[in-house]
Amino acid sequence: AQSVTQLDSHVSVSEGTPVLLRCNYSSSYSPSLFWYVQHPNKGLQLLLKYTSAATLVKGINGFEAEFKKSETSFHLTKPSAHMSDAAEYFCVVSDTGFQKLVFGTGTRLLVSP
Amino acid sequence: DAGVTQSPTHLIKTRGQQVTLRCSPKSGHDTVSWYQQALGQGPQFIFQYYEEEERQRGNFPDRFSGHQFPNYSSELNVNALLLGDSALYLCASSLAIDRGQETQYFGPGTRLLVL
């Protein structure tokens, strides 16, 4: 079964500093990987997805992630945090076939002024 | 372009009751998936509907059932509600032709509280 592990439950940064949210995956196949963001009392918004094309994936709002097969990682980064980035971030792997999404436990990003 | 919509936004029920949640997929999408997100946790897959059939099911009891209509909209039904069913229920839609490369788009969710 495919799974993801988000290595940090909380990450705190100052506005204007870089963001790194870490995710490792486990998959028997070439996986599809996603990062979703959830703001308080909101649904899930897709930030970016990897589907075996370029290993460096650019998403919305300045986020990007790099697929590293040798490390089974898919870390999310952003050069400069903004206050509006404060939210819960989920690393997600898709199961084969019918695309069941398997979510990590989430990382809460806190951004201080 | 209308996104995924869900109704109602909030719902309060008591133990033992039954509830129906509704979802309209993003325009042009034909596949609907349902997820349960308990407080402080990541969403868990309940089941997926395509061509009015349940295509895949997660580890949820038979109390959870669903339906997809010819217009691709979907319902999630939960019978004999338990306190532990309190959660945010998320609907996601996608396009079957993109299977293997598809992206699921999520609605805002229905927050269910069972007392």
Contact across the interface for B42 and A104, Cβ inside 8 Å: yes
A32 contacts on B by Cβ (under 8 Å): 100-101
Q: Mean pLDDT by 10-residue block, N- to C-terminus, for chain A (113 residues)?
A: 92 98 88 91 88 87 94 96 96 77 95 96
pLDDT at residue B98 is higher than 80: no
Q: Report residue B56 as tokens.
A: 């895949």
pLDDT class of B2 with cuts at 50, 70, 90: confident
User: pLDDT by residue (tens digit) across B26-69?
Assistant: 998 999 999 999 998 999 999 999 999 998 899 999 999 999 99
DSSP string, B56-111: EE-S--TTEEEEE-TTS-EEEEE-S--GGG-EEEEEEEE-GGGTTT---EE---EE
pLDDT class of B1 with cuts at 50, 70, 90: low
Contact across the interface for B43 and A103, Cβ inside 8 Å: yes
pLDDT class of B4 with cuts at 50, 70, 90: very high
B4 contacts on A by Cβ (under 8 Å): 43
Looking at the complex, report in whole angstroms how far the Cα of residue B111 sits from the nearest Cα belonging to chain A.
9
CA nearest A46 in B: which residue? B105
Contact across the interface for A44 and B42, Cβ inside 8 Å: no
- The per-residue pLDDT for A97 is 61
A105 contacts on B by Cβ (under 8 Å): 41-42
Pairing of strands B19-24, B74-78: antiparallel
What are the percentages of helix, strand and coil residues in chain A, rounded to 5? Answer: 5, 55, 40
A103 contacts on B by Cβ (under 8 Å): 42-44
Length of chain A: 113
